[in-house]
Amino acid sequence: MISSFIGLYGDEHHEHFDEFGYIRLGKLVSPNELRDLCDRVDDLMMGHVTYDDMKFQLDGNSPGYSKLAPRSAAPTEKSLNYRRIDGLYNDPDFLVYSQHPVFRRITRRYIGEHVSAFRAMIMNKPAGLGTELPWHQDIGEGWGLDRNPTVTIWTALDPMTVDNGAMQIVPGSHKLGILNKGHYTSEADIEAHASASDVVDLTAEAGEAILIHNWMLHRSGVNDTTGPRRAYSIAYMDADTVAVESGEPFPVIFGENALRPAVS
Ligand SMILES: O=C(O)CCC(=O)C(=O)O
């Protein structure tokens, strides 16, 4: 399942990540593996493959974020127009990918030995659809965690282009720290920190993985093309992180009690 190892995550990668809040990790998924992962996403949406503990959200009929459909434990209809699927660590192939040796190395450096996952999710902009995702940092009281994760790995399953709703980022904005306790950025902060000259289109090739600091400002638009724009995004965090309300921890990806299969 794991494609050719592109190299170690070393100090030079760390320095770029530290400076800009993101770094491209290269193509970690081969074309064959990509086809399998994309087929799995489609099978999940069409109800051909099912797991417990997942969440599905259909893309809305309007591109506005405020009109999103509720999330459900199973697909509410057979459709490729799901915007988001959560709980991908339930799927063996996505789990193996989530436990890629490069991710082990990165999480060991930034988190430690015991690492869990929050939001192992597919973010899809269905063909000709998509929802405007406003500027945000990947933190927030709404997440209900007892601490804020800082390490997300986002992988393009399709080519990401300006036309199909590639992410936009403000490199270096993670250095601003947490702008507010909510997920979304205020108009005043957008004006101050995300003006056109600050913004970069994070286009990517299919199979490319990108390490993203959760505090880096990012957004994405709609998909004006005839193909889907699918990405896999997983926030890694210290396995001691718990949900504030329930006190429950999250699925472990690396270290003791990691979901199987796991790398050493
Ligand atoms: O894939 C996207 O368009 C945005 C993803 C995102 O915001 C995330 O992974 O945190």
Residue that the structure tokens 């399942």 belong to: 1
The amino acid present at 150, given as its one-letter code, is T
Question: How confident is the prediction for the chain on average, in pLDDT?
Answer: 93
123 in contact with ligand 1, CB cutoff 6 A: yes
**Which runs of E-coded beta strand occur in the chain?**
22-27, 55-58, 82-86, 115-125, 133-136, 151-156, 167-169, 200-202, 208-213, 218-220, 229-238, 252-254
Residue pLDDT, tens place only, 194-219: 999 999 999 999 999 999 999 999 99
Arithmetic mean of pLDDT, 230-249: 97
Q: State which of 137, 152, 154, 161 you would mutate to test the pocket of ligand 1, scoring each by most atoms of that ligand within 8 A of its C-beta.
A: 154
204 in contact with ligand 1, CB cutoff 6 A: no
220 in contact with ligand 1, CB cutoff 6 A: yes
CA of 215 to the centre of ligand 1 (A): 12
135 in contact with ligand 1, CB cutoff 6 A: no
Q: Does residue 158 belong to any structural domain of this protein?
A: yes
Q: Does residue 55 belong to any structural domain of this protein?
A: yes
Q: Does residue 243 belong to any structural domain of this protein?
A: yes
CB 153 within 8 A of CB 236: yes
Task: Report pLDDT for 263.
Answer: 53
Q: Up-side HSE of residue 182: CA atoms within 13 Å toward CB? A: 6
Q: Does residue 127 belong to any structural domain of this protein?
A: yes
179 in contact with ligand 1, CB cutoff 6 A: no
Task: Report pLDDT for 180.
Answer: 86
- The region of weakest confidence among 8-12, 33-37, 143-147, 245-249 is 8-12
Task: Report pLDDT for 62.
Answer: 67
**Structurally, how many domains does the chain consist of?**
1
Q: State which of 211, 212, 213, 220 you would mutate to test the pocket of ligand 1, scoring each by most atoms of that ligand within 8 A of its C-beta.
A: 220
DSSP 88: G
Residue pLDDT, tens place only, 105-114: 999 999 999 9
Residue pLDDT, tens place only, 130-178: 999 999 999 988 899 999 999 999 999 999 999 999 999 999 999 999 9
Residue pLDDT, tens place only, 251-260: 999 999 999 9
Cα dihedral sign, 61-62-63-66: negative
Query: What predicted TM-score, i.e. pTM, was given to this entire model?
Result: 0.94
234 in contact with ligand 1, CB cutoff 6 A: no
Q: Does residue 261 belong to any structural domain of this protein?
A: no
Q: Which string of DSSP letters, residue by residue, matches 213-264? A: ETTS-EEE----SSS-EEEEEEEEEETT--BTTT-----EEESTTPPSS---
Task: Report pLDDT for 117.
Answer: 97
Please check the confidence at residue 1 and state whether its pLDDT lies above 80: no
Arithmetic mean of pLDDT, 13-28: 96
Residue pLDDT, tens place only, 31-79: 999 999 999 999 999 999 999 999 999 997 666 666 788 899 999 999 9
Q: Does residue 4 belong to any structural domain of this protein?
A: no
Q: Does residue 8 belong to any structural domain of this protein?
A: no
Q: Does residue 218 belong to any structural domain of this protein?
A: yes
Residue that the structure tokens 């990806």 belong to: 253
Q: How confident is the model at residue 4 (pLDDT cuts 50, 70, 90)?
A: very low
> How far apart are alpha carbons 164 and 230 in whole angstroms?
10
Task: Report pLDDT for 61.
Answer: 67
Arithmetic mean of pLDDT, 78-93: 96
Q: State which of 233, 236, 237 you would mutate to test the pocket of ligand 1, scoring each by most atoms of that ligand within 8 A of its C-beta.
A: 233
Give the residue numbers spanning the domain of 148: 14-61+72-254
Q: What is the CATH number of the domain that holds 21?
A: 2.60.120.620
Q: How confident is the model at residue 262 (pLDDT cuts 50, 70, 90)?
A: low
Residue nearest (by alpha carbon) to ligand 1 atom 10: 138
